[in-house]
Structure 1
């Protein structure tokens, strides 16, 4: 059995997978807001998971929106800010007596899909989460490739390739301190900004997509602009990695038209005359993150 945790700002979820990938137990609880309480809660949830599974589980995977700094071994960039600056791996190991594995939640998403999901037949798999923001994870031979600086897959904070104001609209500042990051364009938030720039109206991404599907002209223009931006972003990725499959997750992954339109939008920006492009929707959807966390202990 393998135990996985999905850590969020408001909820902490635990699951137990068997080695065939079947979920044996799943439980959700509010995320504690202090470090010591968090460590104690995770340790207690491990005990609960083992009790419900009826088996001892030595390997525990933790997926969180942050990373372990290779320089210090401490958590960095976590949206649960109370985790930052702590040696979470060592503290959880001490509190639970288990072997602890920690990875960014986007890497966990990608790992789940590479092990037994939409990318299971690929050697090189890139998982792209197109939700409120834009995250990514790179998997090689069913192993997370975090990189020397633990920023492997962080394509959402690259600058949008080929940006021009005429084509892409006004400069978009990002919370990271830079301008025109990829996630400011090819995300639900990015689509909403594009629509607001054109109409001066605020509308949720899913409603813009619904209007596009109904034939609305402005929503259709915003969609076509986003697909072209996605094509540039994915082409830059493919020109470097040439993955076997790109698996899409997040809210925008549910837009069926993307799987029809993305190959055509990407092709003009590739450094090749012929390419076999494979974009797939995540098989496990919102469950991929916690499943991937469990798979960290394989």
Structure 2
């Protein structure tokens, strides 16, 4: 069996898969991050216990996906939106508490792994060797899977597309840099741009509806900005990594124009006379994180 845990800011989910990747159990508990790292670890244990009861078995090893990553040099967790575990020996403490081997990866890596082995890539391009998974939602990130394995990188930041510099107009990012991809292509960043230009606060869903209706010039500007920088940002990935497939995830990935005008925008910047990289929609939705953790 494959056991995985998806650690989120508000919930912890545990899932158990069989060898055919069928779901045997799936349980959620609250994270309760304000109570600190040791409490989070105990909640992970609780989620595992609930799955243990349902399946009648215990994990021999565990995969866990989380925002952020473990620094290979220090062993400390970094860049997680669950602040209680940042700069803490979360990984080693979790292994100690569970007394089993644990493998941890960034949630975008888990998304890419799940879509590559169980989801849209497996269905449509089963022979793909290099897969780049994009998260465009509340934040922006990426994950790299090569021959079925996650590429974590020397610093544990492999695929961190969300904090590559894209354009200074994005402004200051929480990471300390300016103009990060996340500050331009994440859902809240698109909503912020619309509000700055129009003086009106609207959801991305409403902005997109107004764009499709052709009734709002600022909505047009917002979507044109998205398309331009989506093409520029993804072309940089293709020029460096040249993946076989790119799979999009997160709320922004539901916008159909990314697969039409967005693809045309990518073509303009790719360093090749022609463009053949499939850019596809995901299959697994919010299940990808916990499934990818199990597959680690």
Q: TM-score range by the shorter chain?
A: over 0.9
1:173 aligns with 2:172: yes
Q: How does 1:240-255 map to 2 (within 5 A)?
A: 240-255=240-255
Alpha-carbon deviation of 1:24? 1.3
1:105 aligns with 2:119: no
Aligned residue for 2:197? 198
The size of the alignment, in residue pairs, is 289
Normalising by structure 1, what TM-score?
0.92
Give distance in 2, aligned partners of 1:216 and 1:79.
37
Normalising by structure 2, what TM-score?
0.93
Secondary structure of the 1:119 match is helix
Cα pair 2:12 2:31 within 8 Å, conserved? yes
Cα pair 1:46 1:96 within 8 Å, conserved? no
Cα pair 1:15 1:23 within 8 Å, conserved? yes
For structure 1, the 5+ residue unaligned runs are: 165-169
**How far does the alpha carbon of each residue in 1:26-55 deviate from its partner, in whole angstroms, 9 at most, with x for none?**
111111332222222222322321221122
Alpha-carbon deviation of 1:171? 5.2
Aligned residue for 2:211? 212
2:155 equivalent among 139, 142, 149: 149
Of 23-32 and 51-60, deviating more is 51-60
Give distance in 2, aligned partners of 1:182 and 1:86.
27
For the aligned residue pairs, the C-alpha RMSD in angstroms reads 1.5
Aligned residue for 2:226? 226
Q: How does 1:73-112 map to 2 (within 5 A)?
A: 73-112=75-114
For structure 2, the 5+ residue unaligned runs are: none
Distance 1:184 1:85, change over 3 A: closer
Q: How does 1:1-298 map to 2 (within 5 A)?
A: 1-32=1-32, 33-120=35-122, 121=126, 122-160=128-166, 163=167, 170=169, 172-218=171-217, 219-296=219-296
Give distance in 2, aligned partners of 1:293 and 1:209.
33
Alpha-carbon deviation of 1:74? 1.7
